Structure 1
């Protein structure tokens, strides 16, 4: 029943149901066929066949339109998310803490430490990666993103 509900509900990103994008027509509930509703009773076999052929003819166009809508939706979601992200840049010589989950140097858990360090930034790359060294001046063996 859950799958049926998902497949027959218009998705926010495509504004189409997965069922209609797959089969080219909207799904009928089993109850509609059993009770013989207006949707079923008012159609003869020839008009049903003709409607199905028309739906199949426009199916590719419908899929392309929903693909364009999905790309636009993803772009809008990305823009919304990126507006709220605060970039943080660290300068060479600054002291930083590193998230423990990045290296799992110490056991994690509910009461485990969240941060490890401090480390000194020795090099800042353009892609947001940093080269670190320990407080004793030894190069840190891992390169990677710092937790903010």
Structure 2
């Protein structure tokens, strides 16, 4: 009981039935598994909706061997960034597709670039 209910009892205190309360608690214990299952289902649905939302924003870029691409300057040299700096550098040729969205690049003079590059850090170059 709340201290204020001692002097003037509330509706909750007046209508309290201990037997009915015990039955209600037992019913809640019996239904706890269903409540948990519903919560797990809601979490799964929320995760799926979140995944769908963020996957809409990322577009898959498929480059073929020999395509000309530009490379994100921030990915190649993080120290050389700024508001007025170039955003893309290149063009480069796609030398090899290692797996979806992972590429080996080479310069236009056929010299290989040592790192692999993710497709999100590349952009198609149009002449």
Matches of 1:80 and 1:33, distance apart in 2: 50
TM-aligned CA deviation for residue 72 of structure 1: 2.5
Structure-2 residue corresponding to 1:10:
none
1:113 to 63, 86, 108: 86
| Structure 1 residues 28-47: aligned runs within 5 Å | 38=11, 42-47=15-20
Alpha-carbon separation, structure 1, partners of 2:10 and 2:109: 80
SS at match of 1:101: helix
Alignment pair present for 1:138 and 2:101:
no
Task: Evaluate the alpha carbon distance shift between residue 38 and residue 123 of structure 1 in structure 2; reply closer, same or farther with a 3 A threshold.
Answer: farther
Please identify the structure whose Cα radius of gyration is greater. Answer: 2
Larger strand percent: 2
RMSD: 3.1
1:87 paired residue among 28, 41, 60: 60
After TM superposition, the score normalised by the length of structure 2 is 0.66
**TM-score scaled to structure 1, two decimals?**
0.59
Instruction: Give unpaired runs (5+ residues) of structure 2.
Output: none
What is the CA distance between 1:131 and its match in structure 2?
A: 1.0
CA distance, structure 2, for counterparts of residue 113 and residue 37 of structure 1: 71
Q: 1:99 aligns with which of 59, 66, 72?
A: 72
Size of the alignment, in residue pairs? 117
- Bigger relative contact order (CA 8 A; separation at least 6): 2
